[in-house]
Structure 1
Amino acid sequence: MKIADLYKLYIQHGLVDTDTRNIRKNTLFFALKGDNFNGNKFANDALKKGAKFAIIDESEFKTSDAIILVEDVLKTLQELASYHRKILAIPIIAITGSNGKTTTKELINTVLSLKYNTTATKGNLNNHIGVPLTLLSMTKATEIGIVEMGANHLNEIAFLSKMINPDYGYITNFGSAHLEGFGSLEGVVKAKSELYDYLIKNNKKVFVNSKDAIQIEKTKNASIILFEDSLILLDASPFVKLSFKSIQIATNLIGTYNFSNICAAITIGTFFNVPVKKIKESLENYFPSNNRSQVIDTDCNKIILDAYNANPTSMEAALESFKVFSANSKVIILGDMFELGEYSDKEHQSIVDLATSFNFDKLFFVGENFYKTENKHFMFKTFDDLKNYLQENPLNKKSILIKGSRGMALERVVKFC
Structure 2
Amino acid sequence: MSIPLQKAITVLKAEFIGLSPDSSFDHISIDSRSLQNGEGTLFFALKGPNHNGHDYIEDLILKGVQHFVVEEVPENKIPNANFLVVPDTVRALQKIAAYYRGLFDFPIIGLTGSNGKTIVKEWLNFLLSPDYNIIRSPKSYNSQVGVPLSVIAINEKHNLGIFEAGISTINEMDHLQQIIQPTMGVLTKIGSAHDEGFENRSQKILEKLKLFTTTPLIIYKKDPLVDDSLTVFLKENPLIDRQLFSWSFTDETATVLILNVLKSSTSTQIFYRFASTENQIEVPFHDDASIENAISCLMVLLYLKYPIEVIQNRMALLYPVEMRLEVKNGIHNCSIIDDSYSSDFQSLKIAFDFLESQKQNPKKTVILSDIFQSGFSNEELYSKVAQLIKDNRISRVIGIGKTISSFQKLFSNCTVFESTQAFLEQFDDLSFNNETILIKGARSFEFERIVQRLVLKTHETVLEIDLNAISHNLNFFKSKLEEKVKIMVMVKAFGYGNGGLEIAKLLEHHQVDYLGVAFADEGIALKSGGVKVPIMVLNPESTSYEAIIQYQLEPEIYSLKGLHAFLKIAKEKKLENFPIHIKLDTGMHRLGFEANTLPELINTLKGNTSVRITSILSHLATSDDPQHFDFANAQIALFESLSSQLISQLQINPIRHILNTSGISNFPKAQYDMVRLGIGLYGVSNDSNEQKYLENVGTLKSLISQIRTIPAGDSVGYGRRFMAEKTTKVATIPIGYADGIARLWGNQVGYVVIHNQKAPILGSICMDMLMVDVTEIICQEGDDVIIFGESPTVVEMANAIQTIPYEVLTSISQRVKRVFFR
The Cα of 1:206 is off from its aligned counterpart by 0.7
Offset from partner CA, 1:318-355 (integer Å, 9 cap, x none): xxxx9xxx996287x9xxxxxxxxxxxxxxxxx99x97
- The alpha-carbon distance between structure 1 residues 175 and 247, as it changes in their structure 2 partners (threshold 3 A), is closer
Following superposition, the deviation at residue 10 of structure 1 comes to 12
CA change 1:356–1:249 in 2 (3 A) is closer
CA contact (8 A) 1:203 1:223 kept: no
SS class of match (2:196): helix
Gaps of 5+ in 2: 1-8, 15-20, 235-241, 248-255, 273-277, 326-340, 342-447, 470-691, 697-702, 709-729, 736-751, 762-771, 774-785
Counterpart code for 1:21: R
Mapped partners of 1:139, 1:355: distance in 2: 42
Which of 135, 150, 155 is residue 139 of structure 1 equivalent to? 155
The CA deviation at 1:131 is 1.1
Shift of 1:141: 2.0
- Correspondence 1:75 to 2:91: yes
Partner of 1:329: 731
Q: Counterpart in 1 of 2:314? A: 281
Match of 2:188 in 1: 172
Q: 2:811 aligns with which of 380, 388, 401?
A: 388
Q: Distance in 1 between matches of 2:132 and 2:77?
A: 42
- 1:224: how far off? 0.8
Residue 366 of structure 1 contacts residue 383 of structure 1 at CA under 8 Å; is this kept in 2? no
The Cα offsets for residues 370-404 of structure 1, whole Å up to 9 and x where unpaired, read as 46669996798547724625679x8xxxxxxxxxx
CA distance in 1, matches of 2:124, 2:463: 23
- 1:243-274 CA-to-partner distances (Å, cap 9, x unmatched) read 677564443x5622111111112221332345
Displacement of 1:207 in angstroms is: 0.4
2:78 maps to what in 1?
A: 63
Over residues 82-113 of structure 1, what are the superposed CA-to-partner deviations in whole Å (9 max), with x where a residue is unaligned? Answer: 12222221222221222222112211222222
Paired AA for residue 281 in structure 1: R
User: Structure 2: which amino acid aligns with 1:214?
Assistant: L
SS in 1 for 2:300: helix
Contact 2:70–2:84 (CA under 8 A) maintained in structure 1: yes
Equivalent pair of 2:147/2:165 in contact (CA under 8 Å): yes
How far apart in 1 are the matches of 2:182 and 2:28?
Answer: 22
- Equivalent positions of 1:355-394 (< 5 A) are 361=772, 364-366=787-789, 370=793, 382=805, 385-386=808-809, 388-389=811-812
Q: Which amino acid aligns with 1:90?
A: F
Match of 2:509 in 1: none
Partners of 2:23 and 2:270 lie apart in 1 by 44
The equivalent position to 1:86 in structure 2, one of 90, 102, 110, is: 102
The equivalent position to 1:224 in structure 2, one of 244, 259, 265, is: 244
Length, aligned pairs only: 360
Matches within 5 A, 1:254-265: 255-265=287-297
Partner of residue 56, structure 2: 42
- The CA distance in 2 between the partners of 1:117 and 1:306, in whole Å, is 35
Q: Tell me: CA distance 1:217–1:179, structure 2 relative to 1, closer, same or farther (3 Å).
A: closer
Unaligned runs of 5+ in 1: 316-321, 334-350, 395-409
Q: Which amino acid aligns with 2:83?
A: I
- 1:219 alignment partner AA: L
Q: 1:264 and 1:107 mapped to 2: Cα distance?
A: 10
Which structure 2 residues correspond to residues 12-411 of structure 1 after superposition, within 5 A?
Answer: 13-22=25-34, 23-25=36-38, 26-51=40-65, 53-60=67-74, 63-64=78-79, 66-71=81-86, 72-183=88-199, 186=200, 188-197=201-210, 199=212, 201-202=213-214, 204-210=216-222, 212-220=223-231, 221=234, 223-227=243-247, 228-229=256-257, 233-235=261-263, 237=265, 239-240=267-268, 242=270, 246=279, 248-251=281-284, 253=285, 255-274=287-306, 276=308, 278-279=310-311, 280-281=313-314, 284=317, 286-290=319-323, 329=731, 361=772, 364-366=787-789, 370=793, 382=805, 385-386=808-809, 388-389=811-812
Taking a change above 3 Å as real, the CA distance of residues 94 and 263 of structure 1, as seen in their structure-2 partners, is same
Q: Hey, what's the Cα distance between the residues in 2 that align with 1:76 and 1:44? A: 21
Alignment deviations for residues 186-226 of structure 1 (CA, whole Å, 9 cap, x no partner): 2x441232232453x5362210124x443344334463112
Cα 1:113/1:13, change in 2 over 3 Å: farther
Query: 1:329 is matched by which residue type in structure 2?
Result: A
Instruction: Look up the SS of the partner of 2:245 in the other structure.
Output: strand
Is the 8 Å Cα contact of residues 366 and 379 (structure 1) preserved in structure 2?
no
Deviation of 1:130 (Å): 0.7
Supply the distance in 2 between the matched residues of 1:162 and 1:117 (Cα, whole angstroms): 23
Q: State the one-letter code of the partner of 1:73.
A: T
More deviation, 269-278/364-373: 364-373
The answer as to whether partners of 1:97 and 1:150 remain within 8 angstroms in 2 is yes
Q: Secondary structure at the match of 1:214?
A: helix
Give the aligned partner of residue 3 of structure 1. Answer: 11
Report if aligned partners of 2:261, 2:271 keep a CA contact under 8 Å in 1: yes
Distance 2:462 2:122 in 1: 22
User: Residue 237 of structure 1 aligns to which amino acid in structure 2?
Assistant: S
Tell me how far apart the structure 2 counterparts of residues 101 and 250 of structure 1 sit (CA, whole Å). Answer: 18
Distance 1:62 1:108, change over 3 A: farther
- 1:338 alignment partner in structure 2: none
Pick closer, same or farther for the CA change 1:250–1:109 going to 2, 3 Å: same
Structure showing the higher helix proportion among its residues: 1
- What secondary structure does 1:93 align onto? strand
Identify if the C-alpha distance between structure 1 residues 412 and 16 changes in structure 2 by more than 3 Å, giving closer, same or farther: closer
Q: How far apart are the structure 1 equivalents of 2:153 and 2:132?
A: 16
The structure with higher relative contact order (CA 8 Å, sep 6+) is: 1
Alpha-carbon contact 2:462-2:819 (below 8 Å) kept:
no
SS of corresponding position for 2:167 = coil
C-alpha distance in structure 1 between counterparts of 2:458 and 2:307, whole Å: 40
Stretch moving more, 220-229 or 100-109: 220-229
Structure-1 separation of matches of 2:182 and 2:71: 30
Query: TM-score, length-normalised on structure 1?
Result: 0.68
Secondary structure, aligned partner of 2:102: helix
TM, length-normalised to structure 2: 0.37
Structure 2 counterpart of 1:56, which letter?
V
CA contact (8 A) 2:797 2:808 kept: no
Q: 1:375 to 1:357 in 2, by over 3 A?
A: farther
Question: Corresponding residue for 1:405?
Answer: none
